[in-house]
Amino acid sequence: MLVTIDGPAGSGKSSVARAVAERLGFINLNTGAAYRAVAYLALREGVEVDDGPALGDLAGRVGLTAEGAEIDGAPVPDEALRTPEVSAAASSVSSHPEVRRVLLSVQRAAAARASEDRGAVVEGRDIGTVVLPEAELKIFLSAAPEERARRRAAQSGREKELERIRAAMSLRDRQDSERETAPLKAAPDAVIVDTTDLSLDEVVSRVVELAQSLGRGA
Ligand code: DC
């Protein structure tokens, strides 16, 4: 079974996807890590974030497993991919069709391996719409912008920078939603869950129940 979880930054995607995968005994794939790995490589190798063809070549060196992203077959530590510089560059990098085309097959291959094995919970921005439109269960998480910024600040221990985080997040949201290729949006058959006033446990239980009801053929 394939479960997709899409939504903007701070909507709770990563925490929800991880916990749902654990409860269902599925593999969790965080596709943002692959985009971040391309951005990390671009910064390291001095490739401009507006050079689509060169970024597409870099994407060819990136892999994705349940453990995270790989570069040239070696795992990249998650901390290296979570800096504000990499976050900002990842949003620009992900707007290029050359990058998305390469990572599309990387993501599909990773999901196919995972779902053959057990099942997969695949998290990102365009998983239900573009990467795995055939998935049995599609979830789109949303939350109020202030709440998403608060969660991101708390998660990274940068509560004092709330306003800066909110501004950077709203810029990324705009870029991710307005880009021409595979913008952030809910699939027509996605279940939309507004997490603003829900606890992590409440969201996880709701998604697990939906998956189990499908598994029972309900
Ligand atoms: O989920 P994240 O914040 O780690 O994602 C990093 C960036 O990658 C984000 O700005 C949007 C982009 N991304 C994307 O365009 N498509 C995906 N499936 C996942 C992430």
Indicate which CATH number applies to the domain containing 41: 3.40.50.300
Question: Which domain-ending residue is among 117, 134, 166?
Answer: 117
The arithmetic mean of pLDDT across residues 26-51, rounded, is 97
113: containing domain: 31-117
What's this model's pTM, rounded to 2 decimal places? Answer: 0.91
Asked if residue 163 and residue 69 are part of one domain, the reply reads no
Cα distance between residue 120 and residue 123, in whole Å: 10
Domain co-membership, 204 together with 134: yes
Cα 9 from Cα 143, distance rounded (Å): 10
- Is the distance from the beta carbon of residue 10 to the nearest atom of ligand 1 less than 6 Å? no
Mutation to probe ligand 1, out of 18, 35, 169 (largest number of atoms < 8 A from CB): 35
Answer whether residue 128 shows pLDDT above 70.
yes
Does ligand 1 lie within 6 Å of residue 9's CB atom?
yes
Instruction: Specify the residue with its C-alpha closest to ligand 1, atom 9.
Output: 91
172 Cα nearest atom in ligand 1:
10
Q: Are residues 35 and 51 in the same domain?
A: yes
Q: 173 and 92, same structural domain?
A: no
Residues 135-186 have pLDDT tens digits of 999 999 999 989 999 988 888 788 888 999 999 888 888 888 888 887 888 9
Q: Report pLDDT for 216.
A: 60
Mean pLDDT for the chain? 93
Q: Please state at what angle helix 32-45 crosses helix 52-59, rounded to 10 degrees.
A: 120
- Collapsing DSSP to helix, strand or coil, 11 comes out as coil
Sign of the alpha-carbon dihedral angle for 140, 101, 103, 134 = positive
Residue 32 CB less than 6 A away from ligand 1: yes
pLDDT of residue 138: 98
Q: Are 62 and 164 contained in the same domain?
A: no
Atom of ligand 1 nearest to the CA of 94: 15
Q: Are residues 129 and 206 in the same domain?
A: yes
At 218 the pLDDT is 43
Instruction: Select from 117, 150, 179 the last residue of a domain.
Output: 117
**What's the average model confidence in pLDDT over 191-213?**
96
Residues 69 and 95 in one domain: yes
Domain match, 7 and 73 both: no
Pocket probe for ligand 1: among 4, 14, 31, the residue whose CB has the most ligand atoms within 8 Å is 31
* Ligand 1 binding pocket includes 179 (Cβ within 6 Å): no
72 and 20 in a common domain: no
Examine the fold and report which residue of 101, 117, 133 is the final residue of a domain before the chain moves on.
Answer: 117
One-letter amino acid for residue 179 of the chain = R
**Structural domains in the chain (count):** 2
**What are the tens digits of pLDDT across the range 60-72?**
999 999 999 999 9
Length of the chain in terms of residues written: 218
Are 82 and 159 found together in one domain? no
The pLDDT value recorded for residue 83 is 92
Q: Which residues does residue 193 pair with via DSSP β-bridges, in sequence order?
A: 141
Same domain for 124 and 21:
yes
Residue 21 has pLDDT above 60, yes or no: yes
Residues 107 and 141 in one domain: no
